[in-house]
């Protein structure tokens, strides 16, 4: 079972109790920091959002069964009061606990089901090569996305591609997709569609810059359609990294490098995935 699979198994086995990130990380064989970063990349959810959703879904089923009071269910779900539970329940499902207990069914709400993690041991990625990456000054368009709401990234690339090739100071014809600022609590990360530039002068309106230090990278290849790149990321962060004995660098979380081997029109080709490694 992959490291993320082990983390999910532990959560599913213990979410009715108070569990800590430290305990989940220990079960997965990862550091707390590493687990927080890769859980969202692998599953599309933050750890805290997943635990909260699973507890409230379990609570909804108990309420629909009608054998427990709302306060009993609230306490079992880890909430200290009826009010706090009702507020969280409404935010999760858009209805009150009282309405679910009264109607005795959950057909009108979307429960958070257990994540079904495919065992990535049978998925094969090529061993990475290791490179000393130079310091880079990148410029491009960036947005913040929730782990489970990344469907806006292709439109970001559409906007960026209208500038590609004639950005002032652009160096070369390689595009970069850069993931930074992974926030486990908020369940979000920042994504930049960018190119390398010589300086930050005269950039188009709305462009941001990002300086990356010279550092060592493990470089993986994603082959096929770009829509499946998360599967490759899951294999890298969920299986390869825990077994490598290496530690993830500070920034960025991941760089996607798009060169002439990738066709942006069809979404097919080869994408290099550069992961920073601490020396």
Range of 1-15, 110-124, 167-181 with top mean pLDDT: 167-181
Pairwise CA distance, residues 233 & 230, whole Å:
5
Mean pLDDT within 160-182: 94
Of 146, 244, 248, 184, the residue nearest 21 (C-alpha): 184
Q: What are the residue ranges of helices labelled H in the chain?
A: 3-14, 21-28, 32-43, 47-65, 70-76, 82-93, 97-103, 153-161, 229-235, 241-244
What the chain holds in terms of domains, given with CATH numbers, is 3-103 (1.10.10.60), 129-277 (3.20.80.10)
Q: Where are the strands (E) in 15-154, listed by range?
A: 129-133, 136-146
Handedness of CA 187, 192, 193, 196 (dihedral sign): negative
Pairwise CA distance, residues 4 & 39, whole Å:
7
Pairwise CA distance, residues 250 & 258, whole Å:
22
pLDDT in tens, 27-68: 888 888 888 878 887 787 889 999 999 999 989 998 998 878
pTM for the complete prediction?
0.66
Q: CB of 1 within 8 A of CB of 27?
A: no
Of the given ranges (78-92, 114-128, 188-202), which has the lowest mean pLDDT? 114-128
Structure tokens at 275: 């992961």
Report percent pLDDT > 90 for the chain.
54
Residue 69 has pLDDT above 70, yes or no: yes
């Amino acid at each position: 079972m992959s490291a993320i699979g082990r983390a999910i198994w532990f959560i599913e086995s213990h979410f009715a109790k108070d569990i800590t990130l430290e305990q989940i990380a220990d079960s997965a064989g990862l550091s707390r920091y590493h687990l927080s970063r890769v859980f969202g990349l692998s599953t599309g959810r933050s750890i805290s959002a997943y635990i909260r959703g699973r507890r409230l879904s379990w609570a909804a089923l108990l309420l629909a069964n009608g054998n427990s009071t709302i306060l009993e269910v609230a306490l079992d779900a880890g909430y200290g009061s009826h009010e706090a539970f009702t507020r969280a329940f409404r935010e999760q499902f858009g209805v009150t606990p009282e309405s679910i207990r009264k109607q005795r069914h959950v057909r009108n709400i979307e429960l958070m089901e257990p994540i079904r993690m495919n065992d990535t041991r049978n998925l094969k990625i090529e061993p990475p090569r290791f490179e000393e990456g130079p310091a880079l000054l990148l410029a491009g368009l960036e947005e913040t996305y929730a782990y489970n709401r990344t469907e806006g990234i292709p439109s970001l690339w559409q906007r960026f591609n209208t500038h590609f090739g004639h950005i002032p100071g652009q160096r070369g014809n390689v595009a970069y997709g850069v993931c930074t600022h992974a926030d486990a609590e908020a369940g979000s990360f920042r994504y930049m569609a960018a190119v390398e530039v010589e300086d930050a002068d005269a950039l188009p309106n709305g462009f941001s810059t990002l300086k990356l230090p010279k550092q060592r990278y493990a470089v993986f290849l994603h082959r096929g359609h770009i829509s499946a790149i998360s599967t490759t990321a899951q294999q890298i962060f969920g299986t390869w990294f825990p077994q490598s004995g290496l530690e993830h660098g500070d920034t960025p979380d991941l760089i996607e490098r798009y060169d002439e081997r990738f066709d942006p029109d069809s979404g097919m080709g080869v994408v290099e995935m550069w992961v920073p490694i601490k020396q």
